[in-house]
């Protein structure tokens, strides 16, 4: 992974392959952002005019390359757009810095070192720029010859040096450490999402979780098929019944001796979703290795909490199964007895995520945590409602839903609060079982949330994040987001854990 360092060196004398500067969009043309003073001075104060001549406007994500001035040890200046110039006395927002750093880091694939001379006034800016650079430089190259990036045959940026950061400043150092911990775990989630399903079945995922838990002092428990049968986990077993790769339920427990609160995170981990007997048509199954993105996010968030030493107990539940059609697969019309004791009539085997989550939610509820958050690529309906970049938040507590929304927005993850309309619950009534796994077609994302609510213990605060849209980017990269697995949800969960540890969530 790209190294992240701090440097107080002046831009002209720093040995690097490139110097990254910011340029904003002003009313009368591009405006050179703070941090680039040395570069502007070397251009006799005419850098903005040079950039405008080259076609730069300062628009978000825009890149302009120009030769470094005489006397600079770096051969290249890379100007990256920050978007609109901030209001008077306001600085550049964290997300603007994060996106700019990500765009630059991705463009500098193949470079050994780049100096980032972006606007930097405090530790928060260091964290945003560092996080953006580490996330933007990400490349999944495990299956590429010589570990080269798929876009251009180049290895990711080797080192990002943040100019103006002080390695002996405690706040600056902590900002770098947090950026590294969160970014490395988010990138680990991306790796898992991008791994082909023939190499990442439930057993393999569980083994990866076990290894990480051992490394970071996290207690881990893995329930295999035999244990799931003994425990009565009918939802997880029913979904995994058609696959040659048996299901698993993984419990990861991070504990702090100073914790006053306990959070439970539950992740949907369908390592491949064919739809089962309700088979997905061609054009809808090619990216279904990503259907374990929720479990990847939960896994990454628990490990990040451990690495950061947060003073809150966090338990992660990974509900892992492969949904395949076969002679042993669950059929539409079958009834499953869930871990909670409730029975579910399966009307559509492609509505399987809610079945594995239901068992895991009930298991998490038995420990009486202060709050449960589940994360899942659950419904296409949520993608239709919110698009490909925004996840939906549902909850049984309006204040908690608002807190999650604010946390998501704070870390730069687009999200939107969604309702749980009571009238939609009736559509899941079954003449055969306690509840059906399908209801009304319109509002399908909300119906799924109502189904999950049925399996949350009484009196426990709960929220559901439907990340079906942003979990896997099938388009081109943007900002610090790559093509493929994105790691959506990780930063929101980590921020929630931080706020809970600080006592800011009651």
Let me know if 268 is a catalytic residue: no
H helices within 137-201, ranges in order?
170-194
How would DSSP label each residue in 101-150? HHHHHHHTTT-SEEEEE----SHHHHHHHHHHHHHHT----TTSGGG--T
In whole angstroms, give the CA distance from residue 303 to residue 65.
Answer: 38
Yes or no: say if 426 and 438 are a contact pair by the CB < 8 Å rule.
Answer: no
Yes or no: say if 305 and 261 are a contact pair by the CB < 8 Å rule.
Answer: no
Half-sphere exposure of 52 (CA within 13 A, CB side): 13
In whole angstroms, give the CA distance from residue 126 to residue 172.
Answer: 7
For residue 295, give the nearest of 199, 226, 205, 367 by alpha carbon: 205
Q: Which of 148, 166, 280, 483 is catalytic?
A: 280
Yes or no: say if 39 and 77 are a contact pair by the CB < 8 Å rule.
Answer: yes
Q: What angle is formed at CA 359 by the lines to CA 394 and CA 397, rounded to 5 degrees? A: 25
In whole angstroms, give the CA distance from residue 234 to residue 240.
Answer: 10
Q: Which of 99, 251, 261, 354 is catalytic?
A: 354
Let me know if 280 is a catalytic residue: yes
In whole angstroms, give the CA distance from residue 493 to residue 190.
Answer: 15
Q: How far is CA 27 from CA 58, 83, 92, in A?
A: 11, 12, 16
Q: Give the catalytic positions in this structure.
A: 280, 354
């Amino acid at each position: 992974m790209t190294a992240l360092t701090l440097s107080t060196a002046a831009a002209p004398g720093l040995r690097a392959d490139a110097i990254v500067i910011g340029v904003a969009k002003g009313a009368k043309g591009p405006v050179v952002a703070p941090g680039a003073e040395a570069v502007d001075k070397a251009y006799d104060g005419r850098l903005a005019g040079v950039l405008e001549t080259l076609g730069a406007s300062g628009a978000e994500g825009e890149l302009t390359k120009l030769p470094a001035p005489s006397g600079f040890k770096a051969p290249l200046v890379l100007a990256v757009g920050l978007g609109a110039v901030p209001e008077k006395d306001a600085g550049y927002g964290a997300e603007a810095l994060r996106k700019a750093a990500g765009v630059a880091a991705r463009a500098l694939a193949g470079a050994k070192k780049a100096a980032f001379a972006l606007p930097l006034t405090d530790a928060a800016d260091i964290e945003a720029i560092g996080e953006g650079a580490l996330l933007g430089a990400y490349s999944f190259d495990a299956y590429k010859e010589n570990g080269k990036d798929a876009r251009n045959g180049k290895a990711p940026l080797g080192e990002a040096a943040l100019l103006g950061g002080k390695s002996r400043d405690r706040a600056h150092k902590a900002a770098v450490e947090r950026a590294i911990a969160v970014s490395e775990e988010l990138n680990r989630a991306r790796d898992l999402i991008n791994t082909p399903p023939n190499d990442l079945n439930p057993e393999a995922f569980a083994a990866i979780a076990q290894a990480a838990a051992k490394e970071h002092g996290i207690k881990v428990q893995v329930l295999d098929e035999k244990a799931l049968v003994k425990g009565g986990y009918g939802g997880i077993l029913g979904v995994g019944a058609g696959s040659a790769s048996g299901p698993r339920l993984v419990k990861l427990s991070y504990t702090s001796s100073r914790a006053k609160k306990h959070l439970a995170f539950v992740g949907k981990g369908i390592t491949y979703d064919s739809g089962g007997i309700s088979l997905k048509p061609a054009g809808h199954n090619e990216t279904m290795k990503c259907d374990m993105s929720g479990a990847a996010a939960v896994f990454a968030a628990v490990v990040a909490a451990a690495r950061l030493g947060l003073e809150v107990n966090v338990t992660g539940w990974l509900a892992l199964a492969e949904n395949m059609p076969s002679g042993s697969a669950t059929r539409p019309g079958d009834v499953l007895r869930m871990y909670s004791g409730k029975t579910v009539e399966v009307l559509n085997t492609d509505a399987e995520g809610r079945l594995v989550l239901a068992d895991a939610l009930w298991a998490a509820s038995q420990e009486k945590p202060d709050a449960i958050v589940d994360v899942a690529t659950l419904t296409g309906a949520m993608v239709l409602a919110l698009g490909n970049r925004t996840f939906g938040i549902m909850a049984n507590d309006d204040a908690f839903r608002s807190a999650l929304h604010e946390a998501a927005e704070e870390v730069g993850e687009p999200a939107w609060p969604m309702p749980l309309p009571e009238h939609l619950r009736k559509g899941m009534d079954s003449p055969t079982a306690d509840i059906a796994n399908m209801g009304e077609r319109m509002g399908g994302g909300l119906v799924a949330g109502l189904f999950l609510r049925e399996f949350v213990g009484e009196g426990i605060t709960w929220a559901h994040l439907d990340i079906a849209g942003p979990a896997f980017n099938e388009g081109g990269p943007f900002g610090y987001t790559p093509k493929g697995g994105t790691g959506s949800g990780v930063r929101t969960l980590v921020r929630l854990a931080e706020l809970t540890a600080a006592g800011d969530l009651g």
